[in-house]
Chains A and B, each alone.
With several copies, the nearest count.
Chain A
Amino acid sequence: MIEKVLIANRGEIAIRVIRTCKALGIKTVAVYSDEDYNSLHVKQATESYNIGEGTPAKSYLNQEKILETILASGADAVHPGYGFLSENPDFARLCEKNKINFIGTTSNSMELCGDKMQCKAVMLKAKVPTVPGSPDIVKDADEALQIANEIKYPVLLKSVYGGGGRGIRLVHNDKELNENYDSAVGESMAAFGKSAMLVEKFLEKIRHIEYQLARDKKGNTVHIFERECSIQRRNQKLIEQTPSPVVDQETRDRIGEIVVRAAKAVDYTNLGTAEFLRTDEREFFFIEINARLQVEHPITELVSGLDLVKLQIDIANGEPIPFKQKDLKMNGYAIECRINAEDTFLDFAPSTGPIPDVTIPSGPGVRCDTYLYPGCTVSSFYDSLMGKLCTWGQTFEECRLRMLTALNDFYIQGVETSIPLYKTILKTDEYKNGELSTDFLKRYGILDRLTADIKEDKNANKEAALAAAVIHSEYFKSRVTSSVEDSTRWKSQLD
């Protein structure tokens, strides 16, 4: 039985894991970089160890240092959170070797999930539908042409080693394919020193829908419903919700069975997420299994009533999942907004620095997981996720309205945030009607609407701004005339 968990992570997810451990009476060990000594997870854990410099490679990604800390603290288990080492099979293997209970899947299944080509092959064998395309790399343009005609244009020509748009081409017919094949190969050779081409169906107007899955060490497998995560920027999720507006019970059960099959196919253990693309033609294509706890797990907790971190710990302890698929009932609706420190108008560029003041929303149906507190700092060493604001409602509309109210109540001083963007999105008819797609922001011109909303906010506040300015200037004047000392202090405070 797990008695002491080292959390190999930081930020809101470290705090999230500590909370459940505390409630279960399990001791916790926090690790922190030099950049994080004043972070909330350091303060909430039973014990806290400094593990090195701010750069992730020298602390949160330093496997040897973390192993050393696990052994020094006497922790018998490690929770990797998400990001950092959470999906690194080498680290999972290191834990296995040292008889440390890694709260997640096995290193072998993690490796398989991480190798997209091999995983796709396994899924095809298990009759899990994947994005149509070549089952393996194609040897030349002719084979690519043949497959393209089988799966129908438009298709993507993709180098296995590609990334950042290089070695990838969108083609609509035989002529374009022939014209582009060699240049894609050449680009991949130039950029990565090697090339191996795939052909894949190009999907338009797609939704990102994923399933929470759980599998215990005895092989009992369940899915805990879907989450729709279509609202994204640069392939990063911004807003998630459950249930998905396009998943009815029949679909939920049908895709759910596929999810269970997929989990078995890779011999998955513990909690994971099966990600799908869903086309406008209602087809679901498996893309990958995320072999870890997901950022957006709280919305599944809100509609299922489960504590997913507790479930992770139970499974890691070798216990069977304490319920059957048929026992799970979806209750109400949940939305999550990822509160990022970023400037929407600077192409979502990160915004960092000290946070002198913050007001965290609360109230019926509101849950906020965050590392923010007045006086904390948003560090430029780590990702921009400051917190996750989740609301629950008996109806979708109640849930949406609670989110809007909570977003209005959320005040963060010191950095730009994605909060204004979310307010605009949640007020659109498209969002209300569930017309979601991964290109939602561009498709519906959301940034222009945000610009208009901000202007409207400013207009609404102009008298208050003016009044504040008048009072400020009067106060300043009175200080200057009343006392030299006072005015000096006042001025120094203003600097």
Chain B
Amino acid sequence: MDCKIEDIEGTFNGEIVENLGNNEYVIKLNDREQNLKILNMDARGIEFVLDQKYHKVKYLESGTSKMNLVVDGVPMTLNLHANLDEIVYKNVGGGGPAGTELALKSQIPGKVISIAFQEGASVKKGEAVCVLESMKMQVTVKAHKDGNIKSIKIKEGGTVAKNDVIAEIE
């Protein structure tokens, strides 16, 4: 398996070399062989000892190209590629959707307090598109790029979940 780890430069390769039985494996990580013993495993996570060091990993989401893990409490994203033809490197901290994406998404769940634009309006990157309320706090959702608001997917007084699309900007 080849992959990139978000926020970490370089490409990583890993494969199982040998199954020693009794839940023990020899695993090769970037050309270095290490012993791995699985203590527990189910669909939600795995606990293992890798070269004498214990790790607890939760599998949050996984697909064919991407895997979200929590490794010893640290959230990490792996981008899996059979052939790595693209460098995936992203800074820590928010970041938000890339500038080319259509959809402006909510990064928190909440109640829609106000919407600043109507469909068809033009908007600049960083302008407040709507205000959400969650936990007695108001949070402004800002446009992720310049453009025209193609559609608004929320209503005042309604609620949004995390990652719900708020508006489409093109």
Binding site for B on A (CB under 8 A): 37-38, 42-50, 73, 341, 343, 345-347, 349-353, 356-357, 380-384, 408, 411, 413, 447, 451, 454-455, 457-459, 461-475, 490, 493-494
Contact = CB atoms under 8 A, between A and B. Distances in A.
A457 B6 CA distance: 12
A464 B71 contact: yes
Nearest to B58: A413
B73 A411 contact: yes
Given A461-B74, A469-B78, 5 more contacts: A42-B54, A352-B108, A455-B8, A464-B55, A468-B55
Contact of B134 (A48, A352, A408): A352
Interface residues of B, number: 63
A74 to B, nearest CB: 11
B53 A467 contact: no
A441 to B, nearest CB: 14
Interface string B65-88: 001011111101010100000000
19 contacts: A38-B39, A43-B39, A352-B108, A381-B135, A383-B135, A384-B135, A408-B73, A455-B92, A458-B74, A461-B71, A464-B53, A465-B71, A466-B12, A466-B29, A467-B29, A470-B29, A471-B36, A471-B46, A494-B43
Contacts of B93: 345, 447, 451, 454
B15 interface: yes
Contacts of A384: 135, 137
Given A346-B107, A466-B3, A494-B43, A380 B135 contact: yes
Given A349-B137, A465-B57, A467-B50, A473 B1 contact: yes
Contacts of A357: 58
Nearest to A345: B93
Contact of A47 (B6, B41, B52, B139): B52
A170 to B, nearest CB: 24
Nearest to A41: B54
Interface of B, secondary structure class, is strand
B16 A464 contact: no
A346 B95 CA distance: 9
Contacts of A43: 39, 47, 54, 56
A259 to B, nearest CB: 30
Given A43-B47, A43-B56, A380-B135, A346 B1 contact: no
A468 B1 CA distance: 12
Contacts of B74: 454, 457-458, 461
Contacts of B8: 455, 458-459, 462
Interface string B1-34: 1010111100010111000000001010110001
Given A38-B40, A472-B59, A464 B72 contact: yes
Nearest 4 CB-CB pairs, A to B? A350-B135, A345-B93, A493-B43, A468-B57
